[in-house]
Amino acid sequence: MPSERWKISVSGIVQGVGFRPFVFRLALARALTGFVVNTPEGVAIEAEGQVAQLRDFLVALRGEAPPLAQVGEIISRPIPLLHDGEFVLRHSTVSGPVSTLISPDVAVCEACLAEFFDPADRRFRYPFINCTNCGPRYTIVQRIPYDRRHTTMRGFAMCGPCQREYDDPGNRRFHAQPNCCPDCGPRLSLVGAEGRQVAERDEALSQAVRRLAAGEIVAVKGVGGFHLAVDATNGQAIQRLRQRKGREAKPLAVMVPDLSAARRICCLEATDAKEEALASQERPIALATKKAGHGLAEEVAPGYDQFGLMLPYAPLHYLLLQGGVRALVMTSGNRSEEPICIENNEAVQRLAGIADCFLLHDRGIHLPCDDSVVAFQGGMIRKIRRSRGFAPKPIGLAETGGMVLGVGAELKNTVCLLKGDQAFCSQHIGDLKNLEAYRVFQQSISQLETLFEISPGLIVHDLHPQYLSSRWAQKQNVPTLAVQHHHAHLAACLAENRQEGPAIGIILDGAGYGTDQTIWGGEVLLGDAKGYQRFSALEALPLPGGDAAVQAPWRTALSYLHAAYGAELPDLPFMAALECGPILTMVEKKVNSPLTSSCGRLFDAVAAMSGGRQIIQYEGQAAIELMQTAGRLGQEVFPCEVYPEDDMLKISVRSLIRAVAKAVQGGMARSEISRRFHAGLVAVFTRVAEEARQRENINTVALSGGVFQNRLLLEGLVGVLGRAGFQVVVHKELPCNDGCISLGQAIIGRQALKQG
């Protein structure tokens, strides 16, 4: 049979995942000659042999790829025969434009775990065991091609046995860049609160486990940064952690050893999507409903009906959970509002006064990457925070275009770079309110630009001029574009779903700077990435004290009651112990009381009026508790008026507030008030969407904004709109909160470039 030689290019996540040895084995099995090599574009192959075997080889490249590989485009073409006598693996090349992808950090695989628990194996209980199918990737790579010399493992020279594994194409650790063992790899050490080393290796681990069992707070260096760990059954220890960290009430994540332990704590089933997410290679924190008699301390998630559960993903986690503590609080290693620590000295300094000791290792972390968070909503797993395990996997786009950078919002910041038909969204960076977060923000941009050789021709930022991200953008020697916050939400939702639009965007969140200099947040926009029209919005009412009212929902409640009733306020129980006069004076005199159409603030007002939380200790606390009180949507609704004003439809907040006040005065149960309030919002936004469809002939509805983390509202609107014949699109790959803003900004920027 005739022979041919084909040149084959493979793009996607094909480096650092065992793809070259996989290609090598495929070629040997089919008696092909030639070579395979990593390049900046991905993997290049030249294969020579019988045509039938070459065709089978191409099919297997995609169909039988290694677990962590994500094969993108495969391009092949015939080239002249060379008649080489064997198939070889060549060293990586470094010249040329970069277009390959980097795998995220993923959990230790089953094959490595089998060795890890085998007393006869040379890596028995070694905390840094890994292979080409698992372990750190994104957080250790500094540039590509993904070779050891370009990672934080470059300082660890492999011993003889590890080098032989690394060089053997038939071995699972062939070219596994973090490959190591106890003789040549990273080591544990334990440092006391004062910064002095007290133990190494196994003794460091043993002491850390004993300290956890004794109720101490241990700072643990992991894959993407530090955790603060404490026994999840020890309420006093958890309360001490909360006080030291400055996290008074926000739920804390819990790590349990396996799915059996997770089922004892939360309502899970073997076929449950939450359970599937928990055990996935990404190992996110998954929100799941608490079980009665769960056995954990109430201080883990006070007043919250769910736990944030995760399973071990680093070998070190398995060791920590074998020491008698059956569940560990594993919260980010930082002070409140700061990014997680990644360096040993940094952690000892920044976490001083929080941690009682530090379990360290000497494998460097190049980039911080917090744990991802997911929740089961609307029949599927959705991301609340997209970070470790998912970043920097690209989001596929419907169109190609110029290189653009979106720098995100101030809260839940991410950055996004567009290249071709892919969007590279960073890990969760956090709130840009301090210099540490600002430093990580800049480092994350630099990392993505370096890894994927992206030089943006446009930087897109939020319309708010005082955001650190906006100010950074304006200092760069690159053209910039300011984009309205809620327009970015709409564009992100459409882009993620590969929808061109136009769409009816129902965008509900806490705050976004509006084009009229008011605070938007309860918006119905018509449009797409090319532009938008503000079709409808909640009434804009005063927010007394601005950000101070966000922390004190009772302030918002008073203001909204004043708007609904004037000076003759109804006498509601929540007002009894409050000093209302100064707040009402601020509203009446329009002093430090910016106008807002925020849906988040409407939730706060209703929560406070109905007897809920008057002061919050973390973002969204009052609204979350209001949703939990309802449990389900109401059969009846609080009526909400809609009226025309200024060429748009206004949704009457006043009518809702009057309905809630009347219900409170009538002694209605808070649970029923919440049900009717949620159902009323579903009804009124459906009514506005139907009006938009009738006027503009648009049938697609996009739902975005942090308020859609509310399960009742999301599922209610998706169901009602779907039954009304709308095509409803929601976020799946990115969070609906401000974590998606950078993608929307970048997409709008690319359209602006296309339009000149």
Q: What is the tens place of the pLDDT at every residue in 432-478?
A: 988 889 999 999 999 999 988 899 999 999 999 999 999 999 999 99
* Alpha carbon distances (Å) from 569 to 544, 572, 584, 638: 16, 9, 10, 20
- Give me the amino acid identity at 642: V
What pLDDT was estimated at residue 102? 81
Mean pLDDT computed over every residue of the chain? 94
Smallest Cα–Cα separation from 326: which of 236, 255, 277?
255
What pLDDT was estimated at residue 16? 67
Residue 479 pLDDT > 70: yes
164-168, 332-336, 717-721: which range is least confident on average? 332-336
Four-CA torsion 220, 224, 225, 228, nearest 10 degrees = -50
Cα(85)–Cα(438) distance, rounded to whole angstroms?
55
Residue 94 pLDDT > 60: no
Angle at the Cα of 231 (from 228 to 232), degrees rounded to 5? Answer: 100
What pLDDT was estimated at residue 93? 61
What pLDDT was estimated at residue 567? 86
Strands 285-289 and 188-192, how do they pair? Answer: unpaired
Q: In CATH, what number does 536-729 get?
A: 3.30.420.40
pLDDT classification of 578: cutoffs 50, 70, 90: confident
Residue 670 pLDDT > 60: yes
| Structure tokens that stand for 96 in this block | 């040329």
What pLDDT was estimated at residue 579? 87
Angle at the Cα of 582 (from 581 to 588), degrees rounded to 5? Answer: 85
Smallest Cα–Cα separation from 625: which of 297, 617, 218?
617
What pLDDT was estimated at residue 507? 98
Angle between helices 599-609 and 670-696 (to 10 degrees): 150
pLDDT classification of 1: cutoffs 50, 70, 90: low
Instruction: Based on DSSP, count helices (H) and strands (E) in the chain, helices before strands.
Output: 22, 31
What pLDDT was estimated at residue 466? 92
Over range 621-641, report the average pLDDT.
94
Q: Cα Rg for the chain, rounded, in angstroms?
A: 28
Q: Is residue 266 a contact partner of residue 291, using CB atoms and an 8 Å limit?
A: yes
DSSP state of 65: -
79-93, 220-234, 510-524: which range is least confident on average? 79-93
What pLDDT was estimated at residue 221? 98
Query: What is the number of alpha carbons within 13 Å of residue 355 lying toward its C-beta?
Result: 34
Query: What are the backbone dihedrals phi and psi of residue 57, each rounded to the nearest 5 degrees, phi first?
Result: -60, -45
Q: Does domain 103-185 have CATH number 3.20.20.100?
A: no
Cα(732)–Cα(746) distance, rounded to whole angstroms?
18
Over range 489-506, report the average pLDDT.
96
Count the neighbouring beta carbons within 10 Å of the beta carbon of residue 256: 24
Q: Is residue 198 a contact partner of residue 172, using CB atoms and an 8 Å limit?
A: no
DSSP state of 188: E
Let me know how long the chain is.
756
Strands 33-39 and 42-50, how do they pair? Answer: antiparallel
Higher pLDDT, 170 or 486: 486
Edge to edge, the sheet with strand 458-462 lists: 395-396, 422-425, 416-419, 404-406, 458-462, 480-483
What would be the CATH architecture of the domain defined by 3-89? 2-Layer Sandwich (3.30)
DSSP state of 394: P
* Alpha carbon distances (Å) from 202 to 122, 493, 637: 15, 48, 61
Cα(627)–Cα(674) distance, rounded to whole angstroms?
7
Over range 703-717, report the average pLDDT.
97
Angle at the Cα of 614 (from 612 to 618), degrees rounded to 5? Answer: 95
Query: What is the number of alpha carbons within 13 Å of residue 352 lying toward its C-beta?
Result: 8
Could you tell me if residue 332 is left (phi over 0), alpha (psi between -120 and 50 degrees) or otherwise beta? Answer: beta
Scan for tokens 């929100």, then name that residue: 287
Residue 99 pLDDT > 90: no
99-103, 188-192, 735-739: which range is least confident on average? 99-103
What residue spans in the chain does CATH classification 3.30.70.100 cover? 3-89
Strands (E) located in 297-426 = 306-310, 328-332, 357-361, 373-377, 380-385, 395-396, 404-406, 416-419, 422-425
Cα(698)–Cα(690) distance, rounded to whole angstroms?
9
- The SS3 of residue 15 is coil
Angle at the Cα of 559 (from 558 to 563), degrees rounded to 5? Answer: 115
Smallest Cα–Cα separation from 529: which of 563, 566, 564, 498?
498
User: How many angstroms from the chain centroid is the CA of residue 178?
Assistant: 25
What pLDDT was estimated at residue 20? 85
- The SS3 of residue 522 is strand
Q: What is the pLDDT of residues 270-313, one digit of tens each?
A: 778 889 999 999 999 999 999 999 999 999 999 899 999 999 99
Cα(603)–Cα(606) distance, rounded to whole angstroms?
5
- Give me the amino acid identity at 104: P
- The SS3 of residue 662 is helix
Over range 394-417, report the average pLDDT.
96
- Give me the amino acid identity at 73: E
Q: How is domain 392-497+737-754 classified at the CATH fold level?
A: Nucleotidyltransferase; domain 5 (3.30.420)
* Alpha carbon distances (Å) from 140 to 67, 331, 332: 20, 21, 19
Q: What is the pLDDT of residues 676-699, one digit of tens each?
A: 999 999 999 999 999 999 999 999
H/E run at residue 2: none
Four-CA torsion 314, 316, 318, 324, nearest 10 degrees = -150
Q: What is the pLDDT of residues 227-246, one digit of tens each?
A: 999 999 999 999 999 999 99
Smallest Cα–Cα separation from 418: which of 754, 106, 705, 143?
754
Residue 98 pLDDT > 60: no
Q: Could you write out the DSSP letters of every residue in 695-720?
A: HH---EEEEESGGGG-HHHHHHHHHH
pTM of the model: 0.92
Class of domain 188-361: alpha beta
Which residues are CB-neighbours of 504 under 8 A, at least 6 positions away? 524, 525, 526, 535, 689, 692, 693, 698, 700, 701, 702, 726
Q: Is residue 383 a contact partner of residue 734, using CB atoms and an 8 Å limit?
A: yes
| Structure tokens that stand for 119 in this block | 């007393």
Cα(505)–Cα(520) distance, rounded to whole angstroms?
14
Q: Is residue 103 a contact partner of residue 356, using CB atoms and an 8 Å limit?
A: no
Angle between helices 670-696 and 711-723 (to 10 degrees): 40
Over range 492-509, report the average pLDDT.
96
Q: Could you write out the DSSP letters of every residue in 420-480?
A: TTEEEEPPP-B---SHHHHHHHHHHHHHHHHHHT---SEEEEES-TTSHHHHHHHHSSS-E
Q: Is residue 88 a contact partner of residue 352, using CB atoms and an 8 Å limit?
A: no
- The SS3 of residue 411 is coil
Query: What are the backbone dihedrals phi and psi of residue 353, each rounded to the nearest 5 degrees, phi first?
Result: 90, -10
* Alpha carbon distances (Å) from 458 to 32, 449, 451, 736, 745: 46, 13, 19, 24, 11
Which residues on adjacent β-strands are paired with residue 483?
Answer: 462
Which residues on adjacent β-strands are paired with residue 89?
Answer: 36
